[in-house]
Amino acid sequence: MVPPTKKELWTIRLMILIGCFSVLNFVYWFVQPGFGAHPLLYGLMCFTIGYGILRVLYIWYHYWDITIPKIPDTKKTFTVDILTTYFPGEPYEMIVDTLTAIQNISYPHTTYLCDEANDPYLIKVCKELGVRHVTRDNRIDAKAGNINNALRQATGEICVVLDPDHVPETNFLDPIIPFFNDPKIGFVQIVQSYYNINETLVARGAAEQTYQFYGPMMMTMNAYGTVNAIGANCTFRRAALDSIGGHAAGLAEDMHTAMQLHAKGWASVYVPQVLAKGLVPSSLTAFYKQQLKWARGTFDLLFYVYPKLFTKYTIRQKIHYGLLPLHYLVGVVYLINFLIPILSLFLFKMPWSGNILYFGMIILPILMSTFLIRAYIQKWVILKNERGFHLIGGLLQITTWWLYFLGFVYTIFRKKIPYIPTPKEGEGFSNYKIVTPNLLVAILSVAAVIYGLAKDLTPFSMVMAGFALLNAAFMIFGVYLTNQRTNRNRILREGLHQDTVVKLKTLKGYYHKVKDYLFRRIRPVALTLLVICSLLSVGARIEFTKSQWEGIKGIENPISPTRYLGIFFPKETNGLSDNGQIATLEKKEDVPFDIISIYIPWGDKDSIRSSSELISGIYGKKALPMISWEPWTSNFTGSDSIPELKQGQMGLKYIKNGHFDTYIKKFATYLKAFNKPVFLRFAHEFDNPFYPWSKTGGNSPNDFKAA
């Protein structure tokens, strides 16, 4: 792994600065007064967007100063203890493979198996391999307590903690030990990599969630002094552990240990090398158990440990330990994102009243920044085949929302959950019970779409329906992940011919070649594309603040997005406002009018053409006409031959039956020719008995609706 050149580093930083500017541009526009349609829904929407922006900025913060430490020259030989653990129920074969690999590490060391079960078989294996077997008669403090029990016997200057599923290379300690020549170094962390990534879609998704973290994010932590200790593959200075009373306890014992060591002033190093490979959860049940444990554990550290250690941290460490646990707040955010379209469709309310097309255009630079920065940063992902945008990992995170939410709630109410190691073997059955919350969200989302569109088929409701259906699809994907047939290796073994397997492997090879080619081509032009996109968005922002849903088809709307000031001001009693009078009044009062009201009666005389000049004048004033369109059915030639129409009776029924379709189409064509918005007010005051389209004219409310 090669660190960024100066040119690459400043390219990354410039892209991040442009991205931050795009965020500010979006926020300034999004919170314009009057855009909040429904207070509750708008507030929830602002919260989720705010969290999303904070999350993006946090990631960019960790791309700012990618650092790869140079391995120091070896000056001293240390005594080393390597500890791994065993919990009842974990497969023997896995433990034996790990112990054998540890014994094959070339650097001199002593191996300890911290056995929670005092298992006779493992006692025998340890004797055969020359491993020291340690057990205890309690399970206080779970994994941390198990390790600390062994540390009472271990005497090495350096202590390595390996998970029982992580198999180390023979040179595991060679790039690590030299860093301990610096007496300030408390621990050294390396990459956590996996050898069962292709076992299931869950395994693939779980691994994808770690690629950016163990790549450029952890590399930048070197520069910030915030390297995180991970439960596996972490090497500690024994004096550092002793200074905090041993391995710190908790559901997130690794992060807790790092917090305590940094608070004591110990430094840390991240070495971006794959020196051991382990197991990633391969079933949804195993992944859910792991994520609930981590969510509950990190929230506990944030609420109850972080405040106590706050004053002992550097500024960077305060930021790190204050924001890192908020990753698991995503469960609350996803729940809100599910509820917004559901509530909007059931209540017929929109959370935000701006134009969705302009929303897409103004947020485009942020999306482009996220895409292009991530594409550029792929060079510093640990392995070449880990490059990508990790769609499966993102979808898996969405389906895990309720576990993250549960971890947050459990922390608030101090509800304890037992420390259980992540299961090391996949389930033999499809456990659909664990996706019940996902199914409920999917059912509610679909029901909201059906109900909402049946009652209110508008652009507003269609947008919300789109989000609801997308959320339902995400939840259904979670159901799919529970199916054991997602185990791709099993499908290949049981369902496909060998020739097909070969072809699939060939296609996979082509896929990686194309992916690498695209990343190579994107990197040189990423900055240029980002600059162009941002400038276009900023240049058009002024116009965007003037338009709402009325401009959804791209029609320029010259009036205020928040309030409409209208006037009816006829010069004579002919129902036609006088533009000259209105202009005089506007000049006198210094108040422009957005809407000018006029009357146009139905009829085949000259009522349409006579109003053309007036309507054109209204548009010329940058205002909109509001036409009170009066269905005087007696104004048509030939109405004398129909008694009801001659008397102005039952006109709405004749409109419903298509008698006046020719006139209506003619009037529609007339309005269309203006190619501008218009307010059309049909049969106003239909409950006024003085108008013939009211009940006194033989019409009913149903006739009015039908007409």
Tell me the whole-structure pTM to 2 decimals.
0.74
Which DSSP string corresponds to 113-154?
EEESS--HHHHHHHHHHTPEEEE-S--TTHHHHHHHHHHTT-
Q: Quote the pLDDT of residue 192.
A: 93
The 3 state secondary structure assigned to 381-417 is CCCHHHCCCCHHHHHHHHHCHHHHHHHHHHHHCCCCC
- Rounded-to-integer distance, Cα 487 and Cα 499, Å: 19
Start-end of H helices in 422-497: 436-455, 459-482, 488-495
- Rounded-to-integer distance, Cα 109 and Cα 83, Å: 10
How many Cβ atoms sit within 10 Å of the Cβ of residue 600? 22
What's the one-letter identity of residue 197?
I
SS3 call for 496: coil
Q: Quote the pLDDT of residue 94.
A: 94
Q: Quote the pLDDT of residue 642.
A: 85
Residue 278 pairs in a beta bridge with 194
> Residue 575: CA atoms inside 13 Å, Cβ hemisphere, count?
12
Q: Give the angle subtended at the CA of 607 by the CAs of 606 and 609, to the nearest 5°.
A: 70
> Residue 31: CA atoms inside 13 Å, Cβ hemisphere, count?
10
How many Cβ atoms sit within 10 Å of the Cβ of residue 535? 12
Is the separation of the CB atoms in 257 and 305 below 8 Å? no
Give pLDDT tens digits for 7-23.
999 999 998 998 898 89
CA 200 to chain centre: 23
Evaluate the CA torsion angle 206, 208, 214, 220 in order and state its sign.
negative
> Residue 389: CA atoms inside 13 Å, Cβ hemisphere, count?
11
How far are the Cα atoms of 25, 616, 662, 672, 675 from residue 554, in angstroms, in the given order?
22, 20, 29, 15, 11
Nearest to 280 by CA among 195, 359, 338: 195
Q: Quote the pLDDT of residue 645.
A: 83
Burial class of residue 687, CB neighbours in 10 A (0-12, 13-18, 19+):
exposed
- Rounded-to-integer distance, Cα 148 and Cα 143, Å: 9
Nearest to 540 by CA among 524, 525, 528, 556: 556
Q: Quote the pLDDT of residue 331.
A: 96
CA 407 to chain centre: 18
Token pair 């009170």 is found at: 628
Burial class of residue 258, CB neighbours in 10 A (0-12, 13-18, 19+):
buried
Within 8 A by CB and 6+ apart from 559, the residues are 594, 595, 622, 623, 624
Residues of the chain with pLDDT under 50: 487, 489-496, 542-543, 545-560
Q: Quote the pLDDT of residue 576.
A: 67
Give pLDDT tens digits for 403-429.
999 999 999 999 988 776 766 666 556
Name the region of 607 (left: φ>0; alpha: ψ -120 to 50; beta: rest).
Answer: alpha
Residue 135 pairs in a beta bridge with 115
Nearest to 158 by CA among 189, 143, 180: 180
Q: What is the DSSP letter of 352?
A: B
- Rounded-to-integer distance, Cα 299 and Cα 53, Å: 21
- Rounded-to-integer distance, Cα 295 and Cα 287, Å: 12
Is the separation of the CB atoms in 221 and 62 below 8 Å? yes
- Rounded-to-integer distance, Cα 255 and Cα 246, Å: 13
Q: Quote the pLDDT of residue 569.
A: 86
Which pair of tokens denotes residue 348?
A: 């017929």
Is the separation of the CB atoms in 199 and 426 below 8 Å? yes
Start-end of H helices in 554-658: 579-589, 612-620, 643-646, 651-656
What's the one-letter identity of residue 2?
V
> Residue 220: CA atoms inside 13 Å, Cβ hemisphere, count?
23
Q: What is the largest CA-CA distance in the chain?
A: 115
The 3 state secondary structure assigned to 256-301 is HHHHHHHHCCCEEEEECCCCEEECCCCCHHHHHHHHHHHHHHHHHH
Within 8 A by CB and 6+ apart from 74, the residues are 177, 178, 181
Residue 112 pairs in a beta bridge with 83, 132
Which DSSP string corresponds to 533-545?
HHHHHHHHHHHHT
Is the separation of the CB atoms in 651 and 630 below 8 Å? no
- Rounded-to-integer distance, Cα 639 and Cα 655, Å: 13
CA 571 to chain centre: 58
Burial class of residue 524, CB neighbours in 10 A (0-12, 13-18, 19+):
exposed
Nearest to 375 by CA among 388, 386, 365: 388
- Rounded-to-integer distance, Cα 194 and Cα 330, Å: 25
Q: What is the DSSP letter of 67?
A: -
